[in-house]
DNA sequence: GTCATTATGTTATAATATTGCATTTGGCAA
DNA sequence: TTGCCAAATGCAATATTATAACATAATGAC
């Protein structure tokens, strides 16, 4: 994805979420809108406490963790957000409303994540796991590496 | 892998670790041996605080977290242990001394983990990520699902 | 033995996340 | 409208996971 496309995705994400909420009768409350906006503006996925801090600034008073964790849970349950378990951060879903076969590509240098959909990957994994008698759940892989620009920078250095 | 083979692996793991330590001149101290034995006897991967509790029982006094975290770090750095980031637990490496291409298959029901080596999987992932301009680090995947026996039990239920 | 290095002990604290319960809000039926 | 229920939020306490900082002890090289 180009940098332009990434920016477009970032800008559109709150609107996409709002559209799905309207369609499905989900309450997009003021609190949820504020958290949506915080997540929407971040270049890289955010941790819960980073969100708590920003929200507290906006509200002008200290917000307690459960407030934010519950909001994040709401977004994750409804497919708007991915929790990245290997880093304890939350990333916008870049395919709101789509089926999810694929992976999150996580850059170790800049912290950004990119989401790819790939049914062939899903199939490959299922077959690989099946050889060991294992039945995989549907899931987003977390793959660690370097994004295009950080890899280029590393080569240049 | 059969249940018998799994049991063999479990029994042999401390000995394999010891052999590698001797070969590489790594100190297998009394503390490390005790932690090795705790990990060697567990059916499923253990969290740091589970290890702290068991070790404290064995030693007859409360062991502090850094003691255990440092021991786990030693095992992980030397390729004897995998930290499972999605669950905050530590699993015996089932291929001590081998190259690592592959995945940890994690059972959501019984908590056990199984390690597979698969160079083709590694290749597939690299190519998939490369299409997005991403350069993957070598890494063990974490794949969530049901192990053979738990999947069978679930079908039977 | 001296010294440097590695390993362990200990205290405190950081970072991440959840429980439980009180209060408020929003939707809806009588 | 009013009363009610369910969903959402506020809030305090606490649980869980992990690290920092510094002191002491053990080990190995010379
Ligand atoms: Zn997604
Ligand atoms: Zn990057
Ligand atoms: Zn391994
Ligand atoms: Zn199982």
Per-residue pLDDT of chain B (157 residues; tens, 9 = 90+): 445 555 555 679 999 999 999 999 999 999 999 999 999 999 999 999 999 999 999 999 999 999 999 999 999 999 999 999 999 999 999 999 888 899 999 999 999 999 999 999 999 999 999 999 999 999 999 999 999 999 999 988 7
Residue numbers in A near B135 (CB within 8 A)? 145-146, 151
Q: How many domains does chain A have?
A: 1
Q: Which residues of B touch A146 (CB under 8 A)?
A: 134-135, 137
First to last CA, chain A: 24
Is the CB of residue B142 less than 8 Å from the CB of residue B106? yes
pLDDT at A6: 54
Beta-carbon contacts below 8 Å between A and B: 98
CATH classification at residue B18: 1.10.10.10
pLDDT of residue B1: 46
Split at pLDDT 50, 70, 90, the class of A98 is: confident
Distance from CA of B61 to the nearest CA of A (A): 33
Chain B touched by A134 (CB under 8 Å) = yes
CA B47 to ligand 2 centroid distance, Å: 31
- Check residue B2 and give its pLDDT: 47
Mean of the pLDDT values across residues A28-39? 98
Closest Cβ opposite residue B134 in set A86, A135, A148: A148
Residue B105 near chain A (CB below 8 Å): yes
Query: If you average pLDDT over residues A22-47, what whole number do you get?
Result: 97
The three-class DSSP label of residue A82 is strand
- CA distances (Å), origin A13, targets A38, A55, A95: 11, 19, 9
H or E stretch covering A90: strand A89-92
In the predicted model, is pLDDT for residue A33 greater than 60? yes
- The DSSP line for chain B is --HHHHHHHHHHHHHHHHHHHHHHT----HHHHHHHHHHHH-SS-B-HHHHHHHHHHHHTSPPPHHHHHHHHHHHHHTTSEEEETTTTEEEE-TTTTS---EEEEEETTT--EEEEE-HHHHHHHHHHHHTTT-EEPP-EEEEEEE-HHHHHHHHH-
Q: In this predicted model, what pLDDT tens digit does every residue of A57-97 receive, in sequence order?
A: 999 999 999 999 999 999 999 999 999 999 999 999 999 98
Note the strand C nucleotides within 7 A of protein beta carbons: 6-12, 15-20, 26-27
Give the C-alpha separation, B37 to B138, whole Å. Answer: 28
Put simply, the answer to whether B129 touches A103 (Cβ < 8 Å) is yes
Contacts of A143 in chain B (CB under 8 A): 125, 129, 134, 136, 139, 141
Cα separations in angstroms, B108 against A134, B62, B87, B147: 11, 31, 10, 8
B-chain residues near A109 (CB < 8 A): none
Give the residue from A145, A45, A141 showing the smallest Cα distance to A101: A141
Nucleotide nearest to B65 (CA to C1'): D18
pLDDT(A1) > 50: no
| A82 phi, psi to nearest 5 deg | -110, 130
Q: Which nucleotide is nearest to A65 (CA to C1')?
A: C17
Residue span of the structural domain in which B35 resides: 3-155
Protein residue ranges contacting nucleic strand C, Cβ under 7 Å:
A 27, 29, 47-49, 64-66, 69, 88; B 26-27, 29-32, 61, 63-67, 70-71, 74
Residue B104's CB is within 10 A of a number of other CB atoms, namely 21
pLDDT for residue B7? 58
Note whether A147 contacts B141, CB cutoff 8 Å.
Answer: no
Residue A91: which of A73, A75, A113 has the closest Cα? Answer: A113
Alpha-carbon distances, residue A141 vs A49, A125, B11, B99 (angstroms): 24, 10, 31, 21
- Specify burial of residue A137 (Cβ count, 10 A radius: 0-12, 13-18, 19+): exposed
The number of angstroms, rounded, from the C-alpha of A81 to the middle of its chain's C-alpha atoms is 5
Residue B11, pLDDT score: 72
Residue range A91-106: mean pLDDT, rounded: 92
Torsion, CA B137, CA A44, CA A19, CA A97, rounded to 10: 10
- In this structure, the number of other CB atoms found within 10 A of the CB of residue B117 comes to 15
Alpha carbon of residue A63 to chain centroid: 22
Nucleotides of D under 7 A from a protein CB: 7-13, 16-21, 27-28
Nearest Cα to Cα of residue A111 among A149, A54, A156, A66:
A149
Residue A146 Cα to ligand 1 middle (Å): 20
* Residue A7 pLDDT > 70: no
Read off the pTM.
Answer: 0.93
């Amino acid at each position: 994805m180009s940098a332009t496309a990434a920016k477009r995705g970032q800008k559109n994400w709150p609107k996409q979420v709002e559209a799905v909420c309207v369609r499905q009768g989900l309450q997009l409350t003021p609190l949820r809108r504020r958290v949506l906006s915080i997540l929407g503006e971040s270049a890289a996925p955010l941790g819960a406490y980073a969100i708590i801090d920003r929200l507290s600034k906006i509200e002008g008073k200290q917000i307690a963790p459960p407030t934010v964790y519950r909001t994040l849970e709401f977004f994750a349950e409804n497919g708007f957000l991915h929790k990245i378990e290997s880093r304890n951060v939350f990333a916008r879903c870049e395919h709101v409303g789509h089926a999810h076969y694929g992976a999150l590509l996580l850059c170790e240098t800049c912290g950004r994540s990119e989401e790819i959909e790939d049914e062939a990957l899903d199939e490959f994994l299922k077959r690989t796991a099946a050889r060991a008698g294992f039945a995989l759940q549907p899931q987003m892989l977390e793959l660690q590496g370097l994004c295009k620009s950080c890899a280029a920078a590393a080569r240049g250095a």
